[in-house]
Copies of this chain bind each other. A is one copy, B any other.
Amino acid sequence: MALIVQKYGGTSVGSIDRIRNVAERVAKFKMLGHQVVVVVSAMSGETNRLIGLAKEINKDPDPREMDVLLSTGEQVTIALLTMALKDLGLKAKSYTGWQIPMSTDSAHTKARIEHIDDSAMRADLEQGYVVVVAGFQGIDANNDITTLGRGGSDTTGVAMAAAIKADECQIYTDVDGVYTTDPRIVPEARKLDTITFEEMMELASLGSKVLQIRSVEFAGKYKVKLRVLSSFEDEGEGTLITFEEDSMEQPIITGIAFNRDEAKLTILGVPDKPGVAGHIVAPIADANIDVDMIVQNIGVDGTTDFSFTVHRSEMKKAMEVLEMVKSAIGARDVKGDDKIAKVSIVGVGMRTHAGVASTMFKALAAENINIKMISTSEIKISVIVEDKYMELAVRALHQAFELDKEPSAA
């Protein structure tokens, strides 16, 4: 007998029929003798409907009241799912965030979990109940309802699993696991049986939308065994997210992420002296523009070129800031390029294998794809290429690292 936390997203509970399917899946686990805690999101579309109502009143609605409003979405789902479980003859009981209680700080609309009291849930589990928990919501020290922000139901699932020391946290979604890359771009993309937390963090932050990044951090911190599965398929083990220590020999590269949401800005002929990077980045940060990659080359003639990427929608604003910075620091010119894409290879194996970067650059060169910018971390290499080459670059890299093949034990 295991203690399992299952989390179902908005699409998985998007209609009464789907809620029934979830109830049947839960019933199967219960029949196998497991204890089950189910964490659910709002029915798909509901959160946006509620946000729409609030924005009709004020574009920037009061955050406390926003949380009162949005938390109703998950509350509807827990009631309906619990009814469906009881309809199957199971014992089941719903919990709102405040009923658990799940304590958070008071940062409305983006609260952080502080403590989960598992005593009531545990008593119910021991009496054979399926415990159905509203994701995304908590209660703060003022007795006010809080929400964790978008994707917070994943985080609730993982935090719940950590609090009750579950054997596994299963995240059900509309994909059947984590893939080496997007199968819509590379048909040979392969579902991974396992992926490390660190890889998952890099892939998630690079735009793979399978899991919310904060839930992965949480799982890593509390060593929660996390599995991503499809709620629309009955078979399949999904993808298990592991700690590196647990894993067998790793493949060099695990997956390829990409996105075309960014724009590249370059400030040319910057006087090459200490502190200049700060003079450039600080005003960008002050303008509330998030910076992703930053690259600076060593200068040759007493000046240097400084490049960074921002979200494409903020390029214009960033250019305006840089024009002011240019005069202030005596740089030569400012250039912006929004016809770019970022392609990243991720894998814990690259730490111990030389030549990964070389394989990557050669594969791109073989397709005549020019690299405009490079940045690297321990387990990731990202390149900026011309927008129109993005899919080609992903396919070339997928093949070069033989991601379509099952990794052989080394």
Contacts and interface: CB of A to CB of B under 8 A. Distances in A.
A79 interface: yes
- Number of copies of this protein chain within its complex: 2
* Contact residues on A (Cβ < 8 Å of other chain), bracket: 35 or more
B94 A68 contact: yes
A144 B93 CA distance: 10
Given A16-B57, A57-B19, A76 B87 contact: no
B87 A58 contact: yes
A65 B50 contact: no
A108 to B, nearest CB: 12
Interface in A77-118: 78-80, 82-84, 86-87, 93-94, 96, 98-99
A305 to B, nearest CB: 47
A75 interface: yes
Given A16-B57, A57-B16, A62 B83 contact: yes
A78 B68 contact: yes
Interface string A139-176: 00001110000000000000000000000000000000
A154 to B, nearest CB: 22
A79 to B, nearest CB: 4
A294 interface: no
A321 to B, nearest CB: 31
Interface string A272-298: 000000000000000000000000000
A334 interface: no
B83 A65 contact: yes
Contact of A76 (B16, B50, B64, B78): B50
B72 A54 contact: no
Contacts of A69: 75-76, 79-80, 83
Nearest to A69: B79
A61 interface: yes
A379 interface: no
Given A58-B83, A58-B86, A68-B75, 11 more contacts: A16-B56, A53-B80, A54-B79, A54-B80, A57-B84, A65-B78, A65-B83, A66-B79, A68-B94, A68-B96, A75-B75
A384 to B, nearest CB: 42
By Cβ-Cβ distance, the 9 closest A-B pairs, closest first, are A69-B79, A72-B72, A68-B79, A16-B56, A65-B79, A65-B82, A57-B83, A58-B87, A61-B83
Nearest to A23: B57
Contacts of A326: none
A214 interface: no
Contacts of A50: 76
Contacts of A64: 93-94
A62 B75 contact: no
A362 interface: no
A80 B54 CA distance: 6
A191 interface: no
A20 interface: yes
A65 B94 contact: yes
A57 B20 contact: yes
A101 to B, nearest CB: 9
A75 to B, nearest CB: 5
A66 to B, nearest CB: 7
A62 B78 CA distance: 12
A71 B56 CA distance: 23
Contacts of A75: 68-69, 71-72, 75
Interface string A295-323: 00000000000000000000000000000
Max chain B Cβ within 10 angstroms of own Cβ: one of A69, A96, A145: A69
Nearest to A76: B72
Interface in A179-232: none
Contacts of A68: 75, 78-79, 82, 94, 96
